[in-house]
Structures are given as C-alpha cells and as structure tokens.
C-alpha cells in the first residue's frame, strides 16, 4: 500500500492543509496581491503535477474531470495551433494568446477533484474574498484613488468582485441565520466593490446574474416569496444608494453622452464609439481569414488595416484586444478558435443545468453557472480571457465546480469525512 504524504519518512506532513490554504487565499489575492495569487496558483499546479506523477491522470468515476481537462486543454491547443498555422511566430509557444494558465488546468482539476473541497469551505472562501476586496478598494477610494481596482485593471476587478458577491448568496436558502447574514454582508461587499471600481459593463451584468440566482433557487424549489422579496429589497437598496453617489452619476452621464454623440453627431472618439469601430474593423478582418485567423499577436494590426483613417488606426493599435472576446478570438484564431471559446463557456453551463435541480449541489452548479454566464456576457464588451487574473479565476473556479458536481454536498458527513485516496494527499 503506497504511503500518503503524512506517512512518509522525514516527518513530512500531508499536503492537504497547503492545498486548502492556497484555495482560501487565491480568489482575493489575485485582485489585491497578484504575486501572492499567482504563487497560490503555481503551488496548486505543483501539487497537481505531484498527484499526476504519483497516481496518474485517473479520472475514475469523475467524468467531469475528463471534460474539464478536454475543454481547457482544447482551448489552449487551438490557440497554439492557430498561432503556428497563421504564421504568427512572435508569441511564445507555451503562452499563445496569453493563455498559459490553461496549460496547468488538468493538474489543477485533478488536485481539486481528489481534495474534495467541502461546500462549507468553498462558501467561506468566496465570502471572505468578497469582503477583503471591498475593504481594499474602499481604502483606495478614501485615499483618493481616481478609479480603485485593487492591484489590477478596474474592469477586471469589477467583474471578479461582482462574481464573488453573487457566489456568496447562491446558497442562501440552505444556510443558517448566521450563514445568511454573512452571505448578505459578503454580497453587499462584492457589489459595492464593483460600484467603486466604476465599471458600467459590470453594473449591467449584475442584472443577469441576479436573474440567474432567482432561477437557480426556483429550480431547486427554494424560490419563496419571502426570499425573493428580501433579496430584491436588498438589491434595490444598494442600487438606490449607489445611484446617489457622484461616481455612478458621472459614469452614467458619460455613457449616455458618448452614445448620443456617436449616434447623432457621428463622433467616435469615446468609449462607445471606439468599441464600435474596433468591432466593425475586426469583423472585416475576420472575413478575410476565417479559418486560420491572423494570429494572436496580429489581431490589432489586422483590424487596423481595415480602416483608412490614420487616427482610427492609431486608436485600434493602442489596445491589445478589440473589446469583444468573440470578435477578438475570431480575428486571432478563426472559426476553430471561436468554436473552442463557445465550448469552454457553454458546455459547462449545460452540465450545470442538468444538475440544477439538486439542492445539495447548489453551491457547485450555481457558482459554476454564474462564472460562465459572467464571462460569456462580459466578453461582449471586453476581454474575457488572455489576462492572467481572468484566466486564473476562471480555471480555478471551473475546476472546483465542475469536478465538485460529481460528489455529494460538502456539508454532508459522507463528504466531509471521506477518506483521502491512498498515496495522494
């Protein structure tokens, strides 16, 4: 019988506490202390490789682990092949389209699946993370930061902070009174952190995430009038409070003015006009190389070549993406790339939907669905992948939720006390 880490000579202790510590730290750290977050991800990858070398990539009864590995590696592989076929050799072979985090995904998934993170620990992680990121950006706001966003881009920060807030309340109907209180506090913290970061796209996204939360509760039979009224009242209160702040008023007025300026006066030198120019030029470029794409490092060049105005060319080349994940992917990686993107976003949603009638797995299929919906919708006006923070967050939570749907709820005695596979952790 192989020895576990705890049983090995030299006084080694089991690696499970280190895995759980990395899991607890990672979601907040990637936003407020990126190096610590990346170190946590690397640590999980190393332990995952150790598990693979010691036990092999055994999927056992966890078919979702196989699916997770195929989706993430497929997404990475298409980007690599596209870069080679398109003749774009300027990018590192191991980091096509800045997707290197996906290369570690199968090892992360294997480690998470074998660790079996309990529902209680998962919910504690997302709740504490939402509170921590709010405290950081609130401190930044008090210290005069024009647009707080932790230690990352405010647009990226807003999406993840909002998701953490909604993750916190997905299991609200099943929690104790104390648990409900902490969930609502965490939801408020994540939502207000999103408001402070001033991302209008994230504010719109919150409407769809809220609709899904209600749907998830309905599917599991927990959508009571009291629950609906309570959470709706809280959200409306947050909206009313936020609407009175100068931050929201300024950003809202700016968006309306930009849209009016573009539609009526034809002025495109604003956030909305620039996006539309990039979308149109990107689609024109994609039509010229629909199969192989232009290459991940040639996306902006290809799009800029489709416009005649030197000023428009300059603006397009200022960015490293076209402010739409789908168009950016189509231009860079062609139809195979777009297909791989749709698969990695929507296949998990189908899996989670099949599980959505099981209340004991609400944390897993609920968080997983919110994750994929959030990325799918935010990608309509911004980057969804290709940023280290976004990549890590997606792979990390998809690994937890997709593999977690294969076993009983973590609060049950059977899961919490399940023996660790021999020779693994």
Asked whether the beta carbons of 294 and 81 are under 8 A apart, the reply is: no
Q: pLDDT of 168-210, one tens digit each?
A: 999 999 999 999 999 999 999 999 999 999 888 888 899 999 9
Q: Please state, in angstroms and rounded to a whole number, the distance separating the CA atoms of residues 309 and 307.
A: 6
Residue with tokens 């994540």: 190
pLDDT digits (tens, 9 = 90+) for 340-385: 999 999 999 999 999 888 888 899 999 999 999 999 999 998 889 9
Q: Is 316:278 a contact under the CB 8 Å cutoff?
A: yes
What is d(CA 307, CA 323) in angstroms, rounded to the nearest whole number? 17
> Measured between alpha carbons, how far is 128 from 254 in angstroms, rounded to an integer?
33
Res. 415: pLDDT tops 50? no
What lies within 8 Å, CB to CB, of 69 at 6+ separation is: 57, 105, 106, 109
CB 375 within 8 A of CB 384: yes
Structural contact between residues 12 and 47, judged by C-beta atoms closer than 8 angstroms: no
pLDDT band of residue 225 (cuts 50, 70, 90) is: confident
Q: Which of 335, 340, 338, 404 is nearest to 369 (CA)?
A: 404
CB atoms within 10 A of CB 287: 11
Per-residue confidence (pLDDT) for residue 9, from 0 to 100: 35
Percent of all residues in the chain with a pLDDT value above 90, rounded to a whole number = 54
What is the three-state SS of 38-77?
A: HHHHHHHHHHHHHHHHHHCCCCCCCHHHHHHHHHHHHHHH
Q: Give this prediction's pTM.
A: 0.88
Confidence of residue 137 (pLDDT cuts 50, 70, 90): very high
- Cα–Cα distance for residue pair 91/104, rounded to 1 Å: 18
Axis crossing angle, helix 388-404 with helix 325-355, rounded to the nearest 10: 20
* Predicted pLDDT at 105: 95
User: Are 295 and 83 a contacting pair, CB within 8 Å?
Assistant: yes
Give me the numbers of helices (H) and strands (E) for the chain, helices first please: 18, 0
**Tens digits of residue pLDDT in 243-298:** 777 776 676 666 666 665 666 555 666 777 888 889 999 999 999 998 888 888 88
The answer to whether the CB of 161 falls within 8 A of the CB of 134 is yes
Secondary structure (3-state) at 260: helix
Q: Decide which of 159 and 53 is more confident.
A: 159
Does residue 325 register a pLDDT over 60? Answer: yes
- Can you give the pLDDT at residue 377? 95
Question: What pLDDT, in 10s, does the model give residues 92-108?
Answer: 667 777 899 999 999 99
Of the candidates 389, 350, 388, the residue with the CA atom closest to the CA atom of residue 372: 350
Check whether 420 has a pLDDT greater than 50: no
SS3 category, 37: helix
What are the pLDDT digits (tens) for 106-122? 999 999 988 888 899 99
Yes or no: say if 424 and 4 are a contact pair by the CB < 8 Å rule: yes
């Amino acid at each position: 019988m192989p020895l576990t880490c705890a049983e090995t000579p030299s006084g080694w202790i089991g690696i499970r506490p280190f895995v759980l510590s990395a899991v607890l730290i990672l979601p907040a750290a990637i936003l407020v202390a990126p190096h610590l977050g990346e170190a946590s991800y690397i640590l999980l990858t190393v332990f995952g490789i150790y598990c693979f070398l010691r036990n092999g990539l055994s999927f056992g009864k966890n078919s979702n682990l196989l699916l997770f590995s195929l989706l993430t590696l497929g997404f990475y592989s298409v980007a690599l092949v596209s870069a080679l076929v398109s003749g774009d050799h300027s990018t590192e072979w191991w980091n096509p389209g800045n997707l290197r985090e996906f290369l570690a995904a199968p090892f992360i998934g294997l480690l998470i699946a074998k660790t079996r993170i309990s529902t209680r620990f998962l919910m504690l992680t997302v709740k504490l993370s939402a509170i921590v990121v709010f405290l950081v950006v609130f401190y930044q706001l008090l210290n005069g930061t024009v647009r707080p966003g932790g230690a990352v881009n405010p647009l990226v920060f807003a999406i993840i902070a909002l998701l953490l807030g909604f993750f916190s309340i997905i299991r609200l109907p099943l929690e104790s009174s104390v648990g409900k209180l902490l969930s609502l506090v965490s939801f408020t913290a994540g939502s207000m952190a999103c408001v402070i970061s001033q991302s209008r796209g994230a504010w719109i996204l919150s409407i769809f995430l809220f609709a899904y939360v209600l749907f998830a509760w309905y599917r599991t039979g927990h959508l009571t009038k009291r629950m609906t009224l309570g959470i709706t009242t809280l959200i409306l209160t947050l909206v009313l409070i936020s609407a009175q702040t100068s931050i929201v008023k300024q950003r809202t007025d700016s968006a309306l003015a930009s849209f009016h300026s573009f539609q009526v006066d034809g002025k495109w030198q604003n956030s909305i006009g620039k996006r539309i120019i990039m979308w149109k030029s990107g689609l024109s470029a994609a039509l010229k190389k629909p199969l192989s794409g232009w290459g991940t490092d040639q996306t902006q060049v290809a799009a800029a070549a489709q416009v005649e105005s030197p000023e428009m060319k300059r603006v397009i080349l200022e960015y490293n993406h076209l402010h739409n994940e789908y168009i950016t992917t189509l231009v860079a990686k062609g139809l195979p790339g777009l297909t791989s993107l749709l698969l990695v976003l929507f296949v998990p949603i189908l899996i989670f939907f099949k599980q959505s009638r099981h209340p004991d797995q609400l944390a897993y299929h609920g968080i997983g669905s919110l994750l994929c919906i959030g990325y799918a919708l935010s990608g309509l006006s911004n980057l969804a992948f290709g940023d280290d923070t976004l990549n890590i967050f997606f792979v990390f939570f998809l690994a937890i939720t997709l593999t977690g749907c294969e076993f009983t709820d973590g609060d049950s005695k059977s899961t919490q006390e399940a023996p660790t596979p021999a020779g693994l952790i």
